[in-house]
């Protein structure tokens, strides 16, 4: 591959870095001045949580790819099992909850023979 063919990739990498890094630094500078108990920060947390919940619900009820071949009960079961492991997981509960849900779903897909 010639160096001329790399310019689009270099441009994408630099533009992507600038677009995200600018906001990261702005967050660092502004984050030191925000009160953790402020109403604005509570609202931002609520919106972020709602967005994550919406993405998860979309993946459960309107799946694509391999998830599309899995039955609804299996997807709901994986979420419930992951949530239970999260709530009773102890110190590493985030990792445990995610790994448990993924393992449950993968085992269910393997048992059902979905590809």
Contact 1, 9 (CB under 8 A): no
Single pTM value for the model: 0.66
Domain parsing of the chain, residue ranges: 64-115
pLDDT given at position 35: 84
- If 0-12 CB within 10 Å is exposed, 13-18 middle and 19+ buried, where does residue 105 land? buried
DSSP label at residue 46? H
In angstroms and rounded to an integer, the radius of gyration of the C-alpha atoms of the chain is 20
pLDDT tens for the chain, residues 1 to 115: 556 778 888 888 888 888 888 888 888 888 788 888 889 889 989 999 999 999 999 999 999 988 898 999 999 999 999 999 999 988 899 999 999 999 999 999 999 986 5
User: 56 CB contacts (<8 Å, ≥6 apart)?
Assistant: 79
Rounded percentage of the chain residues whose pLDDT exceeds 90: 54
* Size of the chain in residues: 115
């Amino acid at each position: 591959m010639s160096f001329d063919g790399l310019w689009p990739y270099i441009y994408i990498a630099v533009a992507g870095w600038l677009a995200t890094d600018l906001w990261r630094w702005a967050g660092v500078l502004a984050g030191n001045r925000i009160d953790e108990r402020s109403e604005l920060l509570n609202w931002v947390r609520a919106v972020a949580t709602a967005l994550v919940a919406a993405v998860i619900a979309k993946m459960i009820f309107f799946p694509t790819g391999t998830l599309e071949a899995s039955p609804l009960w299996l997807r709901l079961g994986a979420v419930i099992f992951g949530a239970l492991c999260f709530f009773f997981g102890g110190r590493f509960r985030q990792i445990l909850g995610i790994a448990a849900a993924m393992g449950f779903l993968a085992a269910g897909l393997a048992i059902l023979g979905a590809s």
